[in-house]
Structure 1
Amino acid sequence: MEENCNSRLKAAGNQKISNYSNLVYFFGNCQVGFFQKKPPLVSLLNSKKFYEWLVLVVLIMGCFQSKKTKNTAWCKELTVLASQTPFTVSEVEALHELFKKLSSSVIEDGFISKGDLQFALFRNTNKKNLFANRMFDLFDVKCNGVIEFGEFVRSLGVFHPDAPVAEKIHFAFKLYDLRQTGFIEQEELKEMVLALLQESDLELSDDAVQTIVDKTFSDADSKGDGKIDPEEWREFVSKNPSIIKNMTLPYLKDVTVAFPSFVLISEMGESEM
């Protein structure tokens, strides 16, 4: 009986058990002393062992169903994000690997916190950086203190080479609008210039920095009210496209090539999604 059961186990390893009845029958016939050859249905239903196996089957099938539901939901999320951004489904999944690395920089909680971002950029959670803080705030669309995966992908999509220029201009405007007033003011621009100089390890005198700010407002503030509104910003950038040059990251053109070590979709092709 034991040898027969082992044979059944080995043979079943190459088969896919498709329903409850097959699984119950399989387990039942391999249980020593449970069945005598092919038991009648009455013996099966009256057996205590039957109910024990039935509970096991329900639990197993529940796990299968949960995994299937989870996979289906995940594939749907990948597809939706791909439809909303310039990324392909495979590239979105590659970005998920990057997201997981960033979100576990400090605490592995499935979200990118400001501490995670700072540690990933500077290997130091205490370093203060205005530019990094602004980027985090803009990625944190829900303003709940963390960056979720969907926010991460959609925000990165703005930096894709194929993203609309209008989106890049709008994102850059919000980046410089530190107080979130809907305008870029001189003091905000000066703060950002100083932060960018610091990150570039460049030093300029206060007079030189002020000259940059004054020249920018002279060219951009066409209404002469001491602030730059979105319309003025768009016009200014259209005449000086190099201003948003850093809003395009070439390697996002194909993240599956840029990050070849990432795990891509293997079980389901994009056409099946």
Structure 2
Amino acid sequence: MGGVQSELLHKNLEKYQAATFLSRSEIIHIHRLYLKHGGQDDEESRLSWQNVVRIPQLDQNPFKKRICHVFSEDSSGNLTFLEFLEMFSVFHESAPLGTKIHHAFRIYDFNDDGKIDAADLFEVVSRLCGRKDDNEECFADDAPLSDLDEAQVHAEEGEVQARSVITPGQVEEIVKKTIKQADLDGDACISYYEFYSVVARSHTFLDSFRIWFN
């Protein structure tokens, strides 16, 4: 098997290739990453979400806990190797647009009710604009944007360089405008089909919805 030392991969590598958008070498690389961060060489054990979010491909992602939640079948955030592999497959550059949009919708649907409402969008925009991530609450309340550009904030795990952040009022305005533009049936929410219609026209979505191996 070309130097593959894993019993799991010896038995299932071809099956994993057929079921994902990943190459043989990428699957081997992902398996090594899974083991390196505490995973077991089987399909039943789960790697804790606390370890998953520490992998280099996720540690700076503001949606990292949410991603773990979506890809864990039991919604615990803890991932089996197959779920870990699926996560990389969906974020791979070869994954179809529809597959990516489906999972993006699930990630943005924070309350898991099958639609994206104002509360969901507030969480999404807050993360995309740097107000929040999965380690921190809001970095600042209503401080002027200009005062925050060069500031430093202290996260739970140490000092981090502050990002340019916006106020809650500005986030709410973005949320209102987004719903107004995307909500075709007037229910004040964004359905999956409305979400698909908007995202499919985006020129940046495919490049942004990726996990890089290097």
Report the CA distance between 1:156 and its aligned residue.
1.0
CA contact (8 A) 1:186 1:227 kept: yes
Distance (Å, rounded) in 2 between the aligned partners of 1:241 and 1:169: 13
CA contact (8 A) 1:100 1:110 kept: no
Pairs within 5 Å for 1:42-53? none
Amino acid at match of 1:233: F
Give the corresponding residue for 2:190: 228
Report the CA distance between 1:119 and its aligned residue.
4.5
Amino acid at match of 2:80: E
Pairs within 5 Å for 1:1-273? 71=7, 74-103=9-38, 111-120=46-55, 131-143=63-75, 145-196=77-128, 197=130, 198-199=132-133, 201-243=163-205, 245-249=207-211, 251-252=212-213, 258=214
Distance (Å, rounded) in 2 between the aligned partners of 1:151 and 1:245: 22
- Distance change >3 Å, CA 173–CA 157, structure 1 → 2: same
Secondary structure, aligned partner of 1:227 = coil
Distance (Å, rounded) in 1 between the aligned partners of 2:111 and 2:177: 21
Amino acid at match of 1:135: I
Distance (Å, rounded) in 2 between the aligned partners of 1:145 and 1:216: 29
Report the CA distance between 1:118 and its aligned residue.
4.2
**Consecutive unaligned residues in structure 1, runs of 5 or more:** 1-69, 253-257, 259-273
Distance (Å, rounded) in 2 between the aligned partners of 1:235 and 1:165: 12
Give the corresponding residue for 2:151: none
CA contact (8 A) 2:70 2:77 kept: no
Report the CA distance between 1:225 and its aligned residue.
0.7
Larger Rg: 1
CA contact (8 A) 2:48 2:77 kept: yes
Instruction: Give the fraction of aligned pairs with identical amino acids, expressed as a percent.
Output: 27
Report the CA distance between 1:120 and its aligned residue.
4.5
**Consecutive unaligned residues in structure 2, runs of 5 or more:** 1-5, 134-161
Report the CA distance between 1:181 and its aligned residue.
0.7
Question: More helix by proportion, 1 or 2?
Answer: 1
Q: TM-score, normalised by structure 1?
A: 0.56
Report the CA distance between 1:194 and its aligned residue.
1.4
Give the corresponding residue for 1:4: none
Give the corresponding residue for 2:140: none
- Measured against aligned partners, the alpha-carbon deviations of 1:132-175 in whole angstroms (never above 9, x if no partner) come to 22111012124355201111111210111111000010111001
- Distance change >3 Å, CA 234–CA 119, structure 1 → 2: closer
Report the CA distance between 1:89 and its aligned residue.
2.0
